[in-house]
Homo-oligomer: A and B are copies of this chain.
Amino acid sequence: MAQWGMMNQSSEDASVSRGRNARGLPDTLKWAGGRDGCLRLVDQTLLPGRVEIRSCTTVEEVWEAIRGLRVRGAPAIGVAASYGLCLGTRGTRHEATEVFRQKLRAVGEYLCAARPTAVNLGWAIARVTRVAEAAGDISAERIWDGLLAEADAIAREDADTCRRIGEVGAILVPDGGGVLTHCNAGALATVAYGTALSVLYAAHEQGRRFRVFADETRPLLQGARLTAFELDAAGIDVTVICDSAAASLMASGQVQLVVVGADRIAANGDTANKIGTYSVAVAARQHEIPFYVAAPRSTFDLSLADGTGIPIEQRPEEEVRGGFGLDVVPPGVRCYNPAFDVTPSALITGIITEAGLISPVSTERIARLVNDAG
């Protein structure tokens, strides 16, 4: 039973800077303690009932946190993996440089396998690994320091990127209107601000008045638990609905904008995001409601021509069968539990990135914008 009386954070958390994450929440994830430090992250499986900070001191703990959705959201797991590389290679930093580089590659492969769909995971690992590869013939210890600096840079840039996404997208939020979002693409899915929710935070700061409908987002209820929590903490009017109510809500005229995040965007704009996003996109098209994706450029995977190549993570049936500590599906009956679906670009009005809005969505526009110097 969620304990509403226990919203106080763990005592450890007193030292957590609220810094850029000024939404009344602790930082989603943050490296603490310098070279011998650890990755501290909010355990999102316990939200909103309990705000608990978890300290990861080994790469295995980071892997488990990613796999177990303690940290989730494409940008956040990219940052977590960057620090995971630091933790996984820290014990090797006094070895020979080549031994260190081999270890780094092995740790990278290990982390990359934690979850298959979000491309930011592989993107961040590749970026940190490049630092080591390019460092030349210096000591492992100095390379390691470079890794930590690069992970810090990724984290810093993520917050800046997200803030910029909000600035780019805010104008799309209809004053006096209703906005529907699915899953959580907020501060809890990134270092700060979020992607889809950054758009709403920015619009709110600009004084626009709007009402948000958050799909609860079965099976793990990131909408009910996380999006509602974040938006409410920020003073934004939010109402939770069952995922299945989104289409009829649109039919009732209460939704003027849909904005969601993304886990991977193919070269043509086809977008993998939390299961149910496609259903929302189909309904939005039926009602001629603009449907926007908000994502940093690191979420694009230009190696895939379209969405058919995006690997879709299958999660355990138990998340559907008994995700609430109850078994509701009769034993012997199977459950099908894909974590993501792919929304074809034809249903996407535009993609909001830190470098500008891509609308209409086309392979050419995407290539131009993503390849632009960041």
Contact = CB atoms under 8 A, between A and B. Distances in A.
A279 B213 contact: no
Given A240-B335, A240-B336, A286-B282, A247 B327 contact: no
A285 B287 CA distance: 13
Interface in A282-300: 282-283, 285-286
A306 interface: no
Given A1-B327, A282-B283, A341-B247, A239 B336 contact: yes
Q: Which of A1, A283, A320, A329 has the most CB of B within 10 A?
A: A329
Given A278-B251, A279-B247, A282-B283, A325 B325 contact: yes
A115 interface: no
Interface in A239-265: 239-249, 251
A174 interface: no
B335 A239 contact: yes
Interface string A230-244: 001000001111111
B279 A241 contact: no
A221 interface: yes
Contacts of A210: none
A119 interface: no
A2 B324 CA distance: 11
Nearest to A344: B251
Q: Which of A49, A224, A243, A328 has the most CB of B within 10 A?
A: A328
Chain A interface, >50% SS class = mixed
The residue in A225, A248, A342 that gathers the most chain B C-beta atoms within 10 A of its C-beta is: A248
Given A248-B338, A282-B282, A240 B324 contact: no
B4 A329 contact: no
Interface in A303-332: 320-321, 324-332
A101 B335 CA distance: 52
A115 B338 CA distance: 35
User: Taking each of A216, A286, A330, which has the highest tally of chain B beta carbons within 10 Å of its own beta carbon?
Assistant: A330
B224 A244 contact: no
Contacts of A190: none
Among A216, A242, A248, A320, the one with the most B-chain Cβ atoms within 10 Å of its Cβ is: A242
Given A282-B283, A324-B325, 12 more contacts: A2-B328, A216-B328, A216-B329, A232-B333, A240-B329, A240-B334, A244-B275, A245-B337, A248-B278, A248-B279, A251-B341, A324-B324
The 8 A-B pairs with the shortest beta carbon distances in the complex, nearest first, are: A244-B276, A324-B324, A248-B341, A247-B279, A243-B244, A218-B242, A228-B333, A48-B330
20 contacts: A1-B325, A215-B244, A218-B243, A228-B329, A228-B330, A228-B333, A229-B333, A232-B330, A232-B332, A240-B329, A241-B320, A241-B335, A242-B243, A242-B276, A244-B275, A244-B279, A245-B275, A248-B278, A279-B283, A325-B325
